[in-house]
Amino acid sequence: MPMGGFSGRSSELEEKFFRERDMQLLLALREKTAAEERRKSLAEASGITHDGLLEKLERLGMTGQTLAALLLSPLIEVAWADGTLHEKERLAVMGALRQQGVDSEHPAYRLLEGWLRRKPDPELLEVWKEYVASLGEVLSEQEKKELRDDLLRRAREVAESAGGILGFGSKISKQEQKILDELAAAFD
């Protein structure tokens, strides 16, 4: 039974305040725990132990399941290099996804599909470079070379997919070549 008068109302307000505050603290704790779990999953899937890089990946929406999207994000950068994404470039990127075994139900597929509709934040390429640098610490020189060669081959295929005029001239634009050079340098 509520108490009457000012002191009773004061107690009710105080109780309500602390209930709401407890709920806020509980929600914050749940979010922190969920973020830690996402970061742990991402660390296990990627092999990354650097907290700063894990936080950046998480800010970009990466999870252990969408890490495949990060690995293929350079193809997106090449496709958008000239400011326009051509249908042939989109098809080349989607073909690379299928080669990786990423189907339309996979979270990485949906993420990449979104990047094909809207150019991703420039931070994505910088995070990818950090990721490649961290891989350099755990991969052998041969594994690193194989990863580099495979990625550059796929990126070049995307660049060449819509290039040239009537089959003449360079199939790779200057902007695309600049991105390809940047990708290659990330492995050094």
Q: Mapped to the 3 state alphabet, what secondary structure does the chain carry?
A: CCCCHHHHHHHHHHHHHHHHHHHHHHHHHHHHHHHHHHHHHHHHHHCCCCHHHHHHHHHCCCCCCCHHHHHHHHHHHHHCCCCCCCHHHHHHHHHHHHHCCCCCCCHHHHHHHHHHHCCCCCHHHHHHHHHHHHHHCCCCHHHHHHHHHHHHHHHHHHHHHCCCECCECCCCCHHHHHHHHHHHHHCC
User: Domain coordinates of the chain in residue numbers?
Assistant: 5-48, 57-186
End-to-end CA distance of the chain: 73
Whole-structure pTM value = 0.69
pLDDT digit string (tens) for the chain, length 188 residues: 455 566 666 777 777 766 777 677 667 767 777 777 777 877 776 667 777 777 877 777 777 777 878 888 999 999 999 899 999 999 999 988 888 888 888 888 888 899 999 999 888 999 899 888 888 777 788 988 998 999 999 999 999 998 755 455 568 889 999 999 999 999 98
